[in-house]
Amino acid sequence: MSSEAWSQGGIVVVRAWTLACVAVLGLVAGCSSAAGADQSSGDTVTPSVPPPSKAAPLRPAANCFKSDVPVEPASAMDGVRLDASTDATQTSLLLKNTGLLSVVVIPDERWTTRLTAARHANPTDPASVAALAAVTGSGGLSAVTELPTGFPSSQAVIVPPGWAVCALSDDVREPASVRYLRDKASSAEYFVVKGLADQLVSHTKKPGTTLLECAKSTLQLLKERPDLGDIQLYAEVLGAESTCRASYKALLSNDERAAERTSTTVLNWLERTPQLLETTRLFAALARG
């Protein structure tokens, strides 16, 4: 009896334990089923995603400071090379004259591009700055017959060797573009006054008037004597009887020996400058590779 009772008691214990487990599992299953029922009966929850941000509209370049994307150089004629670069919008075009002779740059035919100074890419030494000012002020642009008829000379820019110009389009649909030509007169003018400026700027306070006079003398002699060779031209401009010589002699306190030394030094320098070449027709340059 005791053994059966133990056995029956054991069975009772086992059955009770089993029923307890079944009850617990049933509760868990019921909870899971209820949770599933709640999820299936409710609306599907979709996490909110912010709308993609709109790209900022392209704006045309305001200057050539970011024109660091190289494009094909402009070098359609002997003695000329304009290293060219643009920006991401292609609305700027920085042209740096790394060639031998001066060029004249004007806007494109449809006037979608305007020209501005490229001060960050230009020489800053006083002699170069004074020389360019003299060439620009001499009035030589009005005599460039290869420019379009009626073209305002105020819209043209002389770019001697070592100098640069910035071209800008105000429409992002229009890449910056220009036209350019090689110019004999401004090349000769710049060589003469740059040689003089190197000698006069450090010795005199205001050589601007003298440099302008010598630039005009060079331009005038080119018109009157187109047959002169380069050195003959320079020697005539700087000669003892010229108005250019009288002007820089006055700057040197009318010291004839000082004037002669200046003339000799400048002529020696001019003998090493590139050969002058005739003015060309216009060519195009575009802010695209």
Write the pLDDT tens digit of every residue in 244-261.
999 999 999 999 999 999
Whether 40 is in a domain gets the answer no
**In the predicted model, what is the mean pLDDT of the chain?**
86
Q: State the average pLDDT over residues 21-44.
A: 44
Whether 175 is in a domain gets the answer yes
**Domain of 179, in residue numbers:** 69-286
Reported as a pLDDT band with limits 50, 70 and 90, residue 47 is: low
Whether 11 is in a domain gets the answer no
Least-confidence region, from 5-19, 114-128, 130-144:
5-19
Whether 60 is in a domain gets the answer no
Sort 65 into a burial class: Cβ within 10 Å, 0-12 / 13-18 / 19+.
Answer: middle
Whether 245 is in a domain gets the answer yes
Q: Tell me how many domains the chain contains.
A: 1
Q: State the average pLDDT over residues 210-232.
A: 97
The 3 state secondary structure assigned to the chain is CHHHHHHHHHHHHHHHHHHHHHHHHHHHHHHHHHHHHHHHHCCCCCCCCCCCCCCCCCCCCCCCCCCCEEEEEECCCCCCCEEEEECCCCCEEEEEECCCCCEEEEECCCCCEEEEECHHHCCCCHHHHHHHHHHHHCCHHHHCCCCCCCCCHHHCEEECCCCEEEEEECCCCCCCEEEEEECHHHHHHHHHHHHHHHHHCCCCCCCHHHHHHHHHHHHHHHHHCCCCCHHHHHHHHHCCCCHHHHHHHHHCCCCHHHHHHHHHHHHHHHCCCCCCCCCCCCEEEECCC
**What pLDDT is stored for residue 217 in this prediction?**
98
59-107 pLDDT, tens digit per residue, is: 999 999 999 999 999 999 999 999 999 999 999 999 999 999 999 999 9
**What pLDDT is stored for residue 53 in this prediction?**
60
**What pLDDT is stored for residue 203 in this prediction?**
78
Whether 32 is in a domain gets the answer no
Whether 20 is in a domain gets the answer no
Give the separation between CA 89 and CA 59, rounded to whole angstroms: 8
Q: State the average pLDDT over residues 14-25.
A: 39
198 pLDDT above the threshold of 80: yes
287 pLDDT above the threshold of 60: yes
Whether 97 is in a domain gets the answer yes
Reported as a pLDDT band with limits 50, 70 and 90, residue 162 is: very high
Q: State the average pLDDT over residues 118-132.
A: 97
Reported as a pLDDT band with limits 50, 70 and 90, residue 206 is: confident
5 pLDDT above the threshold of 50: no
